[in-house]
Chains A and B, each alone.
Chain A
Amino acid sequence: MNLREIPHQTHESPAPIRAWLAARGWCLHTHQHAMLARAADPATLLIAPTGGGKTLAGFLPTLAELATPGTPPDGLHTLYISPLKALTADIRRNLGAPVAEMGLDLRIEDRTGDTPSHTRRRQRADPPHILLTTPESLALMLSYPDAPRLFAGLQRVVVDEIHALAESKRGDQLMLALARLQALRPGLRRVGLSATVEDPAAIAHLLAPHPAPCAVLAADPGPAPDIAMLDTPQAPPWAGGSAAHAIPSVLEQIRQHRTTLIFHNTRAQAEIFFRNLWLANDDHLPIAIHHGSLDKTQRTRVEAAMQRGELRAIVCTGSLDLGLDWGDVDLVIQIGAPRNVKRLVQRIGRANHRYNTPSKARIAPANQFEVIECAAALEAMRAGALDGEPRGAGPLDVLCQHILIAACSGPFHADALFAEIITAGPYAALPRTDFDACLDFCATGGYALRAYDRWQRLQLREGGLWHLRDPRSARLIRMNIGTIQDSDTLKVRQGRKRGGKPLGEVEEAFAATLTPGDTFLIGGQVVRFDALREMQIEVSPAPKRTPRIATFMGTKFATSTQLSARIMELLTRKDGWPDLPAHTARWLELQRSFSALPRPDHLLIETFPHRGQSHSCIYGFAGRNAQQTLGLLLTRRMEEMGLDPLGFVATDYATLIWGLEPLRDPAPLFDEDALTRDCDQWLTGNAVMKRTFRAAATIAGLIQRNSPGQRKNGRQATFSSDILYDTLARHDPDHLLLRITRTEAMRGLVDFARIRDMARRTRGRIDHRHLSRVSPLAAPMLLELGSVRIDGRAQDKLIARETARLMADSGLAMLQTPRQAQ
């Protein structure tokens, strides 16, 4: 709880709150007063920096209303929703203390997936005054027929960290749940609490009970942060992401501060950096690592040690982007370019939870190009220019799940449900035809072939009400509520038995590449892969070995459109780069004299020979995902043109393609229509589509993640979602789920929208440079890892070679001489 320690008039607050403040010599912040004053408004969005007493501001009206003389009335008054389970427990503790000190007789409880079932049953029968929960638990509560009784007295909903929820389908699901609640309780008031964002109006639009508006209240943002690039005696390398050159400077910073958070963009980078930091940690400073793939007990231990103030630094990822009150953090270091300015600002807010003291942050670029990106991000920050991609309309897979949840709670009328759904921000503009398609999907599957309509899942019965045909199917629907997609992961344990020490998880795709004896990093230690048993990975410590590879795909954020534009603008400055380190400025000067610098609204393409192969470097500045897609599309076309491409590599700003024949005229490759056509063709059989389909089909309820009595490795008994995708693509290509899949892939991993924008922006303005050798700007691309090999050779050929080898190795080839049939 955060308050100002200045005496101030507090007469607006009810007596117990006033007395509590007075006893401590505290008073409320302006925005906390404002929240009390607006307590009756239907919807309010509060934007406040970290440490601004945001959560208390959200709860004050509740405390004021419940601080009546005598015992407050029974029943649920306020629902608090947070994206993190851990945060609900944290808030329960932090809110419990002032409530007790005010002498209020209130019950505050949390309810998440971890709450025991008997407690959950009791809570449904006899709810507390304030219930702290997550979007998924709320959706589950709403799926029971007794929801109207449970929420009968509900007055207020507080949505914490709404900026984080707004970026994912969890937010869309939550807004649908709020629409349901609002229908049950028309007088319900909503409050959203948000960190600093680029577009408060967009979040207000999400939260508003349409057509009613949502007011935005902005707290004093506090003093400007003290932020700069980290000084390192050694210049960053040309490529790579490990930032090993920054280790001594980072250690020095840790020594000079109480507690430092060291943010990384990916788990793999965090692991590598942590190991290097530990090897150089001659003073034995207590430093820990925290990220989402580590075992939960290990993460909890780190969090507890942090709260006790025992750690000097934590190497972390987005897992610490949100929430928990870390108290004494006085420095944030961001390793690697932040990819997006908004996240950088929010991370910096993690330093110094005290209002009115500037947060302190340093950025350490991992390579030369990131120096430019960091400089651009710093400029954007100082200019207050945050970025963000608009999310578009609410996704239909989430809507399908919502319709199924509604059916679980009881029979519904389609018109009434539609009217309710369009009061939710993400679905305010939902066409009725889309709703009807989703309803049809839930009821019958929505297939062009109506083979089994007798057994549809939802049935329209007398009175125009939709019912679950078999009420028992509600159980399966409830078990699969939620929009979070776990990628397939396997647990890693140290030691043989099931009781072995859990270390964390790795992705199945990574696990599949391991052979016994391989070493990798997890939780900062090097381990040796011993065996894969019962879907668990058994490892033993191998501290002396060099890790073969670090482990996680993780989320790879692409550099935002706005930041990319700023980088281009920075590159083309006429007066040079006085703000950039000298080595970076020299590099850019060299590029300008040898070739050219990328210009806004132009597409720079360099072609040059290198090691006997023709190279083409396309500076699209479209972000990693789009540049990767561009590489796949262009190499396909180049193969058709007979240029024999051999491979490519993509970064956030460019794609480098190499092949046997030089590219003489690049312009036809970038025709927008041709690119779109190629993309459609290429997508259909693509693994990205299958992955996206699996997520959409799971959320929409076609595929169940959980089923009663399922064995952990039961996945072997069921057929894969790829088969469903292939079957639909072959027999029903216009099906709703394929439509959803295409839309999501285009703006997600494929990110074709940015390729199209780039093609439009630069049409007819291609700066093509034929060079005699690699340019300074392209040189680091040659060092990039993760190149994609183009091989016309099909999987079958690879299989033929591998099976032949296995036959020969085993000696079986000698025993049998199979004949190939005609």
Chain B
Amino acid sequence: MSGYSFSLAGVPLIALGSGALLWPEAGILCVSDLHLGKSGRVARRGDAPLPPYETRDTLLRLEADLEATGARRIICLGDSFDDSEAAHLLPESEKLWIARLQAGRSWIWIEGNHDPGPVSLGGSHLAELPQPPLAFRHIAHPSASGEVSGHYHPKAYLHLRGRRVARPCFLIDSDRVILPAYGTYTGGLDCREPALRTLMRREALAILTGATPQAMPMPLPE
């Protein structure tokens, strides 16, 4: 498993190519914005029924990360479900799958704007998790430091010989790390957008996800 190592508030962390964040010393794996059950929510809304495979696709990747890292503590950083109903409307097989992943691991659901209430699945449910010197929450506080958050689905664009390539990315500076969305059915926000640009320091880095994560300076608006 390849990753990009850095430190936040003195804690060594690894940004994995899959979009998960590993805190090796604490055995913590953190993922954000899984948006499980999105196709179900879209169907309930009466829109075109999306292929209902995003939950198993996301869980497959999460399972692989859990096995590869041997993490014992899992923090889902919010928007784990596409809405509060999505969790209990998941097909039984997918609920069992989640339970299987939870077995023998401590599992924390941080609440997000899509899934504010408690979920009917195992694990603890928290508004945010202080884990000094770090703090885990869904949406970044501009004044915080040592903060791990998600919410924005940051994405960076690169120009490669006439082709434009977009990759979900981590954003890192000395105060915080913002995680990319881990879920299969998730779009992204260009990290040059003001919402992200104003949160991050000028010297922030973008770590692109992919087979081998790559660091680059966080792109500036044109």
Interface residues of A (CB under 8 A from B): 444-445, 447, 449, 451-452, 455-457, 468-470, 472-473, 476, 509, 512-513, 515-516, 531-533, 701-704, 715-720, 723-724, 727-728, 730-732, 735, 794-796, 798-800, 802-803, 806-807, 810, 812, 815-816, 818-822
Contacts and interface: CB of A to CB of B under 8 A. Distances in A.
B39 A807 contact: no
Given A455-B40, A821-B4, A701 B91 contact: no
A425 to B, nearest CB: 28
Contact of B217 (A444, A516, A715, A810): A810
Contacts of A716: 155, 187-190
B59 interface: no
A631 B36 CA distance: 42
Contact of A803 (B5, B162, B214): B214
Contacts of B52: 445, 447, 449, 451-452
Contact of A728 (B49, B51, B159, B216): B51
B185 A719 contact: yes
Contacts of A795: 160, 165
A223 B137 CA distance: 80
B104 interface: no
Interface string B184-220: 1111111000000000000101001011101111000
B46 A806 contact: no
Q: Which 5 A-B pairs have the closest CB atoms?
A: A445-B49, A470-B46, A512-B164, A451-B52, A473-B46
B160 A803 contact: no
A509 B50 CA distance: 27
A704 B187 CA distance: 15
Most buried by B among A509, A798, A821: A821
Interface in B121-140: none
Given A803-B214, A810-B217, A456 B43 contact: yes
A731 B210 CA distance: 21
Chain B interface size band reads 35 or more
B189 A717 contact: yes
Most buried by A among B53, B155, B222: B53
B4 A732 contact: no
B212 A445 contact: no
A451 B39 contact: yes
Contact of A821 (B2, B50, B57, B91): B2
Given A730-B53, A815-B203, A704 B48 contact: yes
A807 B216 contact: yes
B17 to A, nearest CB: 9
Contacts of B56: 731
B214 A820 contact: no
Interface string B13-43: 0100000000000000000000000011001
Contacts of B39: 451-452
Contact of A799 (B3, B43, B57, B160): B160
Nearest to B214: A803
Interface string B168-185: 000000000000000011
A451 B90 CA distance: 8
A43 B90 CA distance: 53
Contacts of B189: 716-717
A532 B222 contact: yes
Contact of B210 (A701, A719, A796): A796
Nearest to A715: B187
Nearest to A735: B51
Contacts of B40: 451-452, 455
